[in-house]
Amino acid sequence: MAFAPVPAIFAPSQQRGHDIAVYIFPHEHSLCYEFFFHCRSADAKTETYLCCGCKALKTKDNKVYRQPIPSVKLRDGYFISDPMNPFRPHFCLPRSTPQATTRRLIIERCNELRAGPSGKPTRNVVDELLSDITSPKFGTLFISFLACS
């Protein structure tokens, strides 16, 4: 069966460059893969993203993880190649969507603070962040990322 393009969910990158592209499993919403920007093709529309989980494993131990990092293609904000079954297979495990969402929320707040002081005491910023993460609405937090992207 051919892969039908699906929209990517974009979330803040720790490096503050291109956002990462998130693919939530269609039949298991609690799992996802995250991909970081690698390059743009000559057509200026197609972008290549590499798997964050596989890159992290390879960085930790490149003697064990010698294979190339899996890549996917995006065009106009849509995955046009299958993130679950890339040409080079994943050697990482999928990430927990709630944990990935929490991490990206923290990264987003840290990036905001790096961009300039918020005028709030640090304790208030930390309290707001913890409140967001532990609130009952957290289950729908990833939906809010969709609305922002």
Handedness of CA 100, 106, 110, 113 (dihedral sign): positive
Tokens of 31: 């799992």
Tokens of 144: 């809010």
The residues spanned by each domain of the chain are: 6-148
pLDDT recorded at residue 147: 45
pLDDT recorded at residue 140: 46
pLDDT recorded at residue 31: 95
CB 58 within 8 A of CB 24: no
How does pLDDT run along the chain (149 residues), one tens digit per residue?
688 999 999 988 887 789 999 999 999 999 999 999 999 999 999 999 999 999 999 999 989 999 999 999 999 999 999 999 999 999 999 999 988 888 888 888 777 777 776 667 777 777 777 777 665 544 444 444 444 44
